[in-house]
Amino acid sequence: MAPPVNIIVGSHVWVEDPKEAWVGGEVSRINGEEVHVQTKNGKRVVTHISKVFPEDTEAPPGGVDDMTKLSYLHEPGVLHNLAARYELNEIYTYTGNILIAVNPFQRLPHMYDTHMMEQYKGAGFGELSPHVFAIADVAYRAMINEGKSNSILVSGESGAGKTETTKMLMQYLAYLGGRSGVEGRTVEQQVLESNPVLEAFGNAKTVRNNNSSRFGKFVEIQFDKSGRISGAAIRTYLLERSRVCQVSDPERNYHCFYLLCAAPPEDREKFKLGNPKEYHYLNQSSCYVLDGIDDSEEYAATRRAMDVVGISDEEQDAIFMVVAAILHLGNVEFAKGEEIDSSVIKDEKSRFHLSTTAELLKCDPKSLEDALIKRVMVTPEEVITRTLDPASALASRDALAKTVYSRLFDWLVEKINFSIGQDPNSKSLIGVLDIYGFESFKFNSFEQFCINFTNEKLQQHFNQHVFKMEQEEYTKEEINWSYIEFVDNQDVLDLIEKKPGGVISLLDEACMFPKSTHETFAQKLYQTFKNHKRFIKPKLSRTSFTISHYAGEVTYLADQFIDKNKDYVIAEHQDLLTASKCPFVAGLFPPLPEESSKSSKFSSIGSRFKLQLQSLMETLSSTEPHYIRCVKPNNVLKPAIFENFNIIQQLRCGGVLEAIRISCAGYPTRRTFYEFLNRFGVLAPDVLEGNCDDKVACQMILDKMGLAGYQIGKTKVFLRAGQMAELDAKRAEVLGNAARTIQRQIRTHMARKEFIAVRKAAIQLQSYVRGISSREIFEKLRQEAAAVKIQKYLWRYIARKSYLRVRLSAVTLQTGLRAMTARNEFRFRKQTKAAILLQAHLRCHIAYSYYRSLQKAAIVTQCGWRRRVARRELRNLKMAARETGALKEAKDKLEKRVEELTYRVQLEKRLRTDLEEEKAQEAAKFQEALHAMQIQLEEANARAIREREAAQKAIEDAPPLIKETPVLIHDTEKIDSLSAEVESLKTMLLSERQAAEEARKACIDAEARNAELTRQLEDAGRKVDQLQESVQRLEEKLSSTESENQVLRQQALTMSPKALSSRPRTVIIQRTPENGNIVNGESKFTSDLSLSISSAREPESEEKPQKSLNEKQQENQELLIKCITQDLGFFGGRPIAACVIYKCLLHWRSFEVERTGIFDRVIQTVASAIEVQDNNDTLAYWLSNTSTLLLLLQHTLKASGAASLTPQRRRTSSASLFGRMSQGLRASPQSAGLSFLNGRGGLGRLDDLRQVEAKYPALLFKQQLTAFLEKIYGMIRDNLKKEISPVLGLCIQAPRTSRASLLKGRAQANAVAQQALIAHWQSIVKSLDNYLKIMKANYVPPFLVRKVFTQIFSFINVQLFNSLLLRRECCSFSNGEFVKAGLAELEQWCYGASEEYAGSAWDELKHIRQAVGFLVIHQKPKKTLNEVTKELCPVLSIQQLYRISTMYWDDKYGTHSVSSDVISSMRIMMTEDSNNAVSSSFLLDDDSSIPFSVDDISKTMEQVDITDIEPPPLIREHSGFGFLLPRLE
């Protein structure tokens, strides 16, 4: 991490700060090696140039998710990046493939729920935001794909969150490979359920953590060949046994002691326990209670956890009995005895605790006392018993307590492993190592020495892994890395574990000599390692030594090393507890083998621990490692506090800075060719103008800058430490020159713009003055012209006014006179019209009243008579229908009556035809006579006129005197004769008129008789129709009755002959409960009703008609099934198959039978048709058919007994008796079963369908049909989801612009990129159009189409929105613009599809629309929280808004997100929500349920008219399907 030398004035750098560790600032002056820095907190710092590090001013404000992407990989850069992310609640950060987890000290449930697990399942590493799930997923995928075991190493100091991280890892692995275990509990559940037990006995409060694990734990999760969890095991390392006897203030002992002291009174009385302050092992510290923890509740929880892992109640009592015995043992004190170096029990109190301990351990009190204060030494000559002094007796007491507690803890681990169950056949495992981190306190003892030794071992493994990853990166990019040195800590490990000569070997050697003390041990260390560079002797201490670890120097106190290293069990203790009467205690101390008891082989904690650690490292070396470094941000254990010095120390202890040091030894800065050219292309614009590829362009830029030592790989540029700063300095210089050029051009532009404005103002002023002068002259001329014109118009006005006054007077007089005349005329006409109107209304009223009275009387008379006749006829029909034998006679009578009526109708028709012919002949004769009379009359008139004219002419021509008298006489006679002839002609004409009038009256009478006959004929026709309908209905009833009788006969045939012969001969006739009528019948089977079944030949003869009937019915069903397997298409937008199925089932009365197979056949046909799930056309076809058929069934079927009227009565009440009979005669016999559909009234709509009482098969069929409808709907929806899912992943992130964008301009590049993106959206739109077209072509109800697209748009909303929240690169301004353009394509599609089919689909995109709208708005820092939550994004939750606001970055204009105050307010609201147990998941869930019910279908779908459906050709000509043919009117 050597700082670069390219620090110039104006550079932004990091400098050391005593409060904040590192602080940013700007270089103000450089004097040789001294640098003057003006820091951001207002201070002025002068430091050496080697102690400043460059700051990346272009780093995103929210930090980067992978610190290998940092331009400057150094300590302050790493610290600042972690702090920026922690401030935004981004607690996870990558360093390559290492995960750094900063403890948030608050609940973040949204980060660990099932939604988050679904997002990370199968996602590529680094594709989503850093997360512990990503590490677990990588380990699991590597294990599955490569078949190699993996391990996840979780490290960190106390309080860093290692245990919680381990829980999250195991939960995710359980999510990926969970499998049911014993008693319904999975393996991972059992492992997690064991945590409370291990925590109770292995965790304690330390200075830094209230629940610190004081042992190392390696959980092996075993998997089978299919990747399912098959077993697990827990390995523990180095339990801190010394804590049982020694506790520092303000720490606590192990939790179990305090839990037992808080147990219920009966338990405490059983174990003779009291207040924890009374016990020596607990009262060494003043801390007894933890804040927010109730020990009594924890005791009950621990008991429940023991039950879960399979520890019985007896074993639990024994466990807590041992724990209580240890507490009582600690209160046993010793005093000096009478003899030298002897000891005795101090007082009665100690004696009480001793006896209580013996009672609890179920051993002899005297034996226990002897085991504590005496030692037996066996020599070849004799057995020597010696007593111990009080100090040695206390040491013996503590040794016994530690040994018992250690054996108890080992037994618990073994019991838990047995409960979980291991898979011996498992070849793959994922190990999760949860182990203590590096520790360095004010006083460090043997425990810290072992812990730090462990961490040195793990650090070496970590360094090798990091270096290996570096090698793989370099090899992958094909660059030379052979000269890079590897940072190793092998010298520290040799110092500790080398044999012989290591610290552990020297400690074991000291333990083997009884006279060795901690001083002699320390002196031995000083002599052995005086020249070792990693070993330091403190100046002011004789028993301390310092080791320089990878994380820093740690000073150890050797005072208790020898005592704590001894691991052997004292023989007296072993014998005492082996002889215990308690089986549990005796089981903790099994008798040692004889060889073991005789041998005096030395055993130590250090050696045993070294062997355990060696085994652990071998396990880790055989697996592929993954690292998680947990960091505690502060020591007060509170959220939102980031202590820089504390973090730096933990990064050093965790090896993160060591990994950075390894990276800096090679090429710490790595940039892809695109990123490098995008950042440093300004250094060589001529290179970008060429046609060379990116790799050559990068090479040319680096050569031009004169850099050496860099490497260019296949896809990245690798820079040595300091070279990035050098390039940035030159880039800043180029950008500075460009800025000055831009400033110069802007100033020139502004000056010229000011000059042009002044000149333009002068010209405008001149024009204004000239305009004023011209306007004054023009105004004067205009006034003169106006005066002349005013005079002219005034004179004309006066003259015209005088003329108009005179004319107005004349017109007024004329108007008055004319108006008076008109009013008089109007008044007269009005009175006349009113009188006429009154007369007309009065006469009309009189005539109408008389007519209505006559009409009413006639109607009443007719109704009375018709009712009487109808009742008589109905009574006769009922009487006739009571006996089956009368059916034949009724039918014969009806046929005879029909024949008589037909004959009468034909006779009446013939009479009416003859009458009409006679009437026509008479009318023709009258017309001819009248015409002849008219001709004679005309000829007589013409002759008289001619004679009169001739006489007149003769009178005029004759002489006046001579011929006057004779002429007069002659003319007078002639006139008389003519007059007489005229009179006779008039008489004849009058008689002829009378005759014509009589003929006309006769004609009218004939027409009246004809009308009466016609009416009688129609009445007779209606009666005939009614009779035919009655006959047809009776035939159907007879046929149904015969079928039922034959079924009963078949049942009777199965009975024994004895039973048959004993039964009387009866006629089996089924009747309806209401009226006793036969349900179904047919005339050709009536003769079979009276047959008996006593003989054997009669059933054979009766079986033939039934067999033919069943075969015919089976044939019809087979034909129907064969028909519907074909694509029958649609008729007028209605599916033919559904309508045909419904008509057939209704006609066959399948809904009303108890057993039938037709329903299963139909369901099987539908199931086989939709087996090919990818054929959307077939699925849409059957979706339309099933929905239509279900709609018809919904309106037809009703549960049995649901209504009081039977179908028989409902038909009776629908029409009159004679109307049904006429319908039955006009219809064909085959169509009688559908008379309610195709009768006279044109029934066939859903409102007209009758309801039938459905039996169980029909109701089951309806349920199955509903299930298939939902299944087909789901298949279509899921197919569409499957089709658009791959494209959605490409739609959320804008495509990266090519290198040409650096030259062609942003607008053109964005246009090209937008076209590429729109292509993906258009692909989605194309899929939507295709599915809409398919569903339209198959007439899928619009209601279902709307539901499909509503759920699809909801799926798009969920996928896009979740991707946006999980991928920081998507939360940018330009990406928001691209997604907004894509959403506009979907909006256009919704408009094009119309609301009928799209419905409210567009509203389902509300989350992604509002999120994108937030990304593309400007001036975000000026927005208040209320504006963001109420106006911009009212639908989004606070968690979602916080996530978007913190992840937002502007790659286009460089703007910032909302203000820090808004972010703080959001964080407070999120904290309140988490405290109130409000769901804080920011991810959306995709709803894959069925969003409708059967009632929704019946309410929303349009009515279906099935009367005019044309049957398919396959069954159209078949006689059994004649009822499907539409009726012709």
Rounded CA-CA distance 261/274 in Å is 6
Distances (CA, A) of 992 to 531, 925, 928, 999, 1005: 167, 12, 11, 10, 20
Check if the beta carbon of residue 1411 is closer than 8 Å to that of residue 1360: no
Which listed residue (63, 159, 202, 722) is catalytic? 159
* 1323 counts as catalytic: no
Find all residues with CB under 8 Å of 976, minimum gap 6, and list them: none
Closest to 514 in 3D by CA, of 614, 392, 334: 392
Task: Using the structure block, give the residue that is written with the tokens 């286009």.
Answer: 1452
Distances (CA, A) of 1313 to 625, 679, 1378: 40, 20, 9
Closest to 1352 in 3D by CA, of 1422, 1282, 1271: 1282
* 439 counts as catalytic: yes
Strand pairing category for 624-631 and 552-557? unpaired
Check if the beta carbon of residue 533 is closer than 8 Å to that of residue 548: yes
Closest to 238 in 3D by CA, of 499, 448, 494: 448
* 1200 counts as catalytic: no
Which listed residue (71, 166, 209, 505) is catalytic? 209
Closest to 643 in 3D by CA, of 631, 625, 658: 631
Task: Using the structure block, give the residue that is written with the tokens 């904040």.
Answer: 20
Rounded CA-CA distance 455/155 in Å is 9
Q: What is the largest CA-CA distance in the chain?
A: 222
Which listed residue (213, 357, 1186, 1363) is catalytic? 213
Which listed residue (24, 63, 437, 1520) is catalytic? 437
Which listed residue (439, 470, 1035, 1152) is catalytic? 439
Rounded CA-CA distance 19/16 in Å is 9
**Amino acid in position 339:** E
* 531 counts as catalytic: no
* 209 counts as catalytic: yes
Find all residues with CB under 8 Å of 1412, minimum gap 6, and list them: 1376, 1379, 1380, 1383
Check if the beta carbon of residue 245 is closer than 8 Å to that of residue 396: no
Rounded CA-CA distance 1176/1164 in Å is 19
Rounded CA-CA distance 763/758 in Å is 9
Closest to 609 in 3D by CA, of 398, 456, 444, 431: 456
Rounded CA-CA distance 666/719 in Å is 9
Q: Is 1269 exposed, middle or buried (0-12, 13-18, 19+ CB in 10 A)?
A: buried
Rounded CA-CA distance 676/680 in Å is 6
* 1021 counts as catalytic: no
Token duo for residue 887:
């059916």
Q: In what order do the strands lie in the sheet with 624-631?
A: 92-95, 98-102, 624-631, 150-155, 428-434, 216-223, 229-237
* 1437 counts as catalytic: no
Neighbours of 1436 (CB within 10 A): 21
Token duo for residue 878:
């009922």
* 163 counts as catalytic: yes
Token duo for residue 203:
């965790």
Which listed residue (93, 97, 163, 1231) is catalytic? 163
Which listed residue (155, 158, 663, 1176) is catalytic? 158
List the Cα angle 1428/1434/1436 in 5-degree steps. 90
Rounded CA-CA distance 103/90 in Å is 10
Token duo for residue 783:
């006034």
Q: At what angle do helices 656-665 and 644-653 cross, to 10 degrees?
A: 70
**CA 119 to mean position of chain CA atoms:** 12
Find all residues with CB under 8 Å of 360, minimum gap 6, and list them: 271, 272, 321, 322, 324, 325, 328
Which listed residue (93, 97, 212, 604) is catalytic? 212
Give the residue numbers marked as catalytic. Answer: 158-159, 163, 209, 212-213, 437, 439
